[in-house]
Amino acid sequence: MVDKLSFGECASIKRTPLCFGINYQFWKVRMKIFVESIDKGIWNAIKNDLFVSMLENDKVISKTPWSQWVEHESKKVQYDCIANNIITSALSSDEFFRVSQCESTKEMWDTLEVIHEEQVT
């Protein structure tokens, strides 16, 4: 059965599904399931972009200094870091270099969608 799979791997609950640029739709669904199984907050980080804590003083809005973050803000930033690690760990070197200049995991995810979903149509 493995030799019939175009991506040449078996499913695992502990290892990210690998993306070699083929059978992208299948990988995309498996990746979403894999990430959500770890924590829905990580999937949220992928779909909703980087979390930036903002502070308002005298109607001036600025980024909150790291030293003033509360626990839930730190957790959201940690989700961003974990999401980035998961996505980049799931990519072949060719796929990685396609998204290596992206600023966020969401941008990586969206870039992969544009690249591979345009190839299908």
Give tens-digit pLDDT for 28-77.
Answer: 999 999 999 999 999 999 998 777 777 777 777 877 777 777 888 888 88
pLDDT recorded at residue 29: 92
Residue 88 has pLDDT above 70, yes or no: yes
Kindly list the domain boundaries of the chain, sorted by start residue. Answer: 2-115
User: What is the pTM for the complete model shown?
Assistant: 0.76
Helices marked H in the chain — which ranges? 24-38, 40-48, 71-89, 93-99, 105-120
pLDDT at 99 over 90: yes
> Using 50, 70 and 90 to split pLDDT, how confident is the model at 21?
confident
Instruction: Name the more confident of 19 and 109.
Output: 109
User: How far is the C-alpha of 10 from the C-alpha of 22, rounded, in Å?
Assistant: 15
